A and B are shown apart, each in its own frame.
Chain A
């Protein structure tokens, strides 16, 4: 029978991993394609990493030595019907950046929105997605926050067809001033007037969308103490 390491021994190693205590997640979160690919590539060629710079992520084309996928901790809001548009879905997205340590430099902050199968793309122009920055923490609550800066929709090709937004500047601001992090306001709108039958179908689509929507923030950081500027050149 194998023994167990002492709590002290384990604690020392967990600190080395950047953890305060043994994690006890109730279930594993979904792992995005890019993280799976990096791990699989390394497992396929275990010696490949030896001569490479550990602080350059060739899959993402940036420098960084830690990739974090932060889950959305926000909540849904009640949708409002406007004169010409009705809101299919409204949600506050919130990402806790406290896991990013002081010395880490952000090199990527990418919001991923997975809308589930056959929703946004199939309905084409009938649905519109708007993402805006919530300006103040005081708006958190049951009322709908006043959206601030509106982001342009930036969709990039991805194996799973999810929508991606570059939030690097926003995340840097949140990182420097955590009190500014009041989250993001996501709204999916249905345009125009419709008859009863079409409205019923759209309501069904919106309900599905609420169930399948999954948001996460991919954050890549670089620790200068572990990643020296000259390390690539030297290698």
Chain B
């Protein structure tokens, strides 16, 4: 069967967007000592079938996009983080303990379908 041509324009394709988490916005600056915030980023955009091979896609995304093309009831593949990195946070708890802890998967480095 013929596969429909995707309508997504380049700027709507799955890619990484900047997102700065400012702890002051959350009211957490009262107990998080450092950092004051960090660039966490997020993934957003479409994953059309014709581009799943070039959008850092998983094989599964390729198959889902293929199925979406033949049956629109199947949702399109989704744009998700494919590479994340950690940050360290320094904060104070209710017992006045100062704690430094590493947290994995806090920053989106790359996105894919």
Mostly, the B contact residues are strand
CA distance A50 to B104 in the complex (A): 9
Contact status B99-A68, CB under 8 Å: yes
Which of A22-30, A128-136, A143-151 lies at the interface with chain B? A22-30
A24 with B94: in contact, given A35-B100, A54-B104, A67-B99 (CB under 8 Å)? yes
How many residues of B sit at the interface, in one of the four size bands? 20 to 34
A18 close to chain B: CB less than 8 A = yes
Contacts from A to B (Cβ < 8 Å) = 2, 4-5, 16-25, 28-29, 31-32, 35, 38-39, 42-43, 46-47, 49-50, 54-55, 65-71, 96, 98-99, 226
Contact status A25-B31, CB under 8 Å: yes
Contact status A35-B101, CB under 8 Å: no
CA distance A134 to B42 in the complex (A): 53
Choose from A25, A42, A65 the contact partner of B94 (Cβ within 8 Å). Answer: A25
* Chain A nearest Cβ from B109, distance in angstroms: 7
Which residues of the partner chain B approach A50 to less than 8 Å between Cβ atoms? 85-86, 109
CA distance A96 to B94 in the complex (A): 12
The chain B residue sitting closest to A53, CB to CB, is B102
Choose from B25, B91, B96, B100 the contact partner of A71 (Cβ within 8 Å). Answer: B96
Contact status A99-B30, CB under 8 Å: no
Which residues of the partner chain A approach B109 to less than 8 Å between Cβ atoms? 50
Contact status A42-B100, CB under 8 Å: no
Which residues of the partner chain A approach B102 to less than 8 Å between Cβ atoms? 49, 54-55, 65-66
Which residues of the partner chain A approach B67 to less than 8 Å between Cβ atoms? none
Contact status B99-A28, CB under 8 Å: no
